Chains A and B, each alone.
Chain A
Amino acid sequence: MRPILMKGHERPLTFLKYNRDGDLLFSCAKDHTPTVWFADNGERLGTYRGHNGAVWSCDVSRDSMRLITGSADQTVKLWNVQTGAQLYTFNFGSPARSVDFSVGDKLAVITTDPFMELTSAIHVKRIARDPTEQTEESELVIKGPQGRINRAVWGPLNRTIVSAGEDAVIRIWDSETGKLLREADKESGHKKTITSLTKSADGSHFLTGSLDKSAKLWDTRTLTLIKTYVTERPVNAVAMSPLLDHVVLGGGQDASAVTTTDHRAGKFEAKFFDKILQEEIGGVKGHFGPINALAFNPDGKSFSSGGEDGYVRLHHFDPDYFNIKI
């Protein structure tokens, strides 16, 4: 396949997100400006100007009208997707890391980093239909985990919130009361910082990637470990194909390997694994730096990866991808 290279960001990519219809791709990077691209040919549609710090993550509403972005400048902003106008700004006491719209887009879960005396926290905000009615107040604030919470997402039917972060423990919280419902088993769980989390298309299971060079597949309801995928590199980003039983892991390079690996450029790869057999199917090379973001198009026929090199690579699969057999 011939990936489309999009060099719109000057700094490393942090997050990639497709909209529900799969025609727009939103990219967040450390350069303060989230960008939206057309997902078929990579043409840039626009940029959202306004943040003063690295943008760590974003989410788009189901109708592709609203974009929410979380940034290191301690704000979370709501944008009009079409015009790029800022609709609302939530202010926090520390950098905002992860944002996620609920099913129905009426709520959003936002995590903030530990900063000075503040510990990390998970905030739930109500999102009003009409931006003029938007209020700053939180529906719910959950504190508890030590260290940064890298990702928090809504569970099925918005009943729960799943969080994962630097303390390597996945937690499930009740979204109404804020009570901790479940914690992942320490023995079988990750051993180092969990960098990324992605849900399956139906929300029944989710995948977490960690710096301990593995990714694990969990059941959302019971938080039991289903599968483990092992690589040689710390995992920075994970994605699951909505169409086939594949998971993709993107990662970096161990510090100890930096001087001894050969200097061929373009060799950071996104590794494909069979979801059920846990075996490696292959790798897609090309990035000049560690891969920090991965996303699958909801139709499952293309995927994109964002790297430390500032490039977004959009890959449309060849027909033989769909015929891969182990």
Chain B
Amino acid sequence: MYGVVHFTTGSLNMPIDKSDPNPNQSKASKFRWGELEEDDNLDFLLPPKEVIGPDENGIKKVIEYKFNDEGNKVKITTTTRVRKLAKARLNKRAVERRNWEKFGDAVHEDVGSRLTMVSTEEIILERPRAPELLLTGMKAEEIKVPGDSLAQLSKGGAVLMVCRTCGKKGDHWTSKCPYKDLAAPVETFVDKPVASEASVAASGSGKGAYVPPSMRAGAERTAGSDMRRRNDENSVRVTNLSEDTREPDLLELFRPFGAVTRVYVAMDQKTGTSRGFGFVNFVNREDAQRAINKLNGYGYDNLILRVEWATPRAN
């Protein structure tokens, strides 16, 4: 015995126009085509109910025709999704109990009551994060929170996601790495002293003590707000990037012009490719200016780059 749940996702009421070359209607009233002139006869004819059985996705369509209040023929399409939830091998008494009458508050329950619903979200048994990936002073619980939400988000991908920062497969892409702000192995360039200072602070606060949001793991770190502001002022926008351009590529490209604090490439979560643009933050404004001068119009991986200040500003 299967536990089956039906979802009704929508009913369409469509008035039928007789002159409408609707394939359904013409199919249903095919045998009357010769008498199409005679409108009267057709009025009494209601095409039979069609049931397009559950296809491989479990979608079942029921097409019914009836007369609405004004006497017009309407076509009602009900789309439901039939899902097999669980296969239950029930014993005899359980099967009997299935047929018991409702009692108490359930007596007047109509089918439309929303008491029991299947969750729209897919919930998984989330495995705990591997602690060896955590850097000094990170609390396991704090890291888990951003990681888990990301894991949920990227669930729809069905793609093997590899993050180059922490090296974990199947969880998040590099740009979404919860550790991306931290001293990461080799590739992405981060303010190293900033990261380690903050992480020491987090460990210093102790396991159970209150940690303000600004000092928590994964929080945006500012070792002095001026440094960050200056970085954002030295932000260069690069557009017309090719699909497989990633942060390390941009880094290699811009590094010759000077110290780079941050690179970012906008990624399309679903396909894992670059959305064609990114940002590079330089330490020095002059380096950024030189990069713009040299690389704007530069041919990179079959596309001509466009490099400019991130916010339209001249010096």
Contact = CB atoms under 8 A, between A and B. Distances in A.
Contacts of A142: none
Nearest to A49: B104
A2 B126 contact: no
Nearest to B102: A46
A41 B122 contact: no
Contacts of B86: 40, 301-302, 316
Max count, chain A CB within 10 A of own CB: residue among B85, B103, B115, B126? B103
B109 A44 contact: yes
B106 A260 contact: no
A104 interface: no
B12 interface: no
Contacts of A4: 5, 85, 116-119
A257 to B, nearest CB: 9
Nearest to A84: B103
Contacts of B117: 4-5, 7
Nearest to B124: A1
Contacts of A302: 86
Interface string A14-51: 00000001111000000001010110111111111100
Contacts of A232: 141
B46 to A, nearest CB: 33
A178 interface: no
B178 to A, nearest CB: 13
A135 interface: no
Given A44-B109, A45-B100, A282 B126 contact: yes
Contact of A8 (B85, B115, B122): B115
B149 interface: yes
B116 A42 contact: yes
Contacts of A21: 90-91, 93-94
B36 interface: no
B123 A2 contact: yes
B2 to A, nearest CB: 9
B119 A64 contact: no
Nearest to B90: A23
Contacts of B210: 256, 260
B125 A284 contact: yes
B213 to A, nearest CB: 7
Contacts of B141: 232
Given A23-B98, A262-B145, A5 B119 contact: yes
A180 interface: no
B146 to A, nearest CB: 9
Interface in B129-151: 141, 145, 148-149
Contacts of A301: 86
Given A5-B119, A43-B116, A260-B213, A282 B128 contact: yes
B158 interface: no
A173 interface: no
Nearest to B210: A260
* Closest CB pairs A-B (n = 6): A47-B104, A40-B3, A46-B103, A84-B103, A23-B94, A282-B125
Interface of A: 1-8, 21-24, 33, 35, 37-38, 40-49, 63-64, 82-84, 232, 256, 260, 262, 264, 266, 269, 272, 280-286, 301-302, 313, 315-316, 318, 321, 324
Interface of B: 3-5, 85-86, 88, 90-91, 93-94, 97-98, 100, 102-107, 109, 114-119, 121-128, 141, 145, 148-149, 210-213
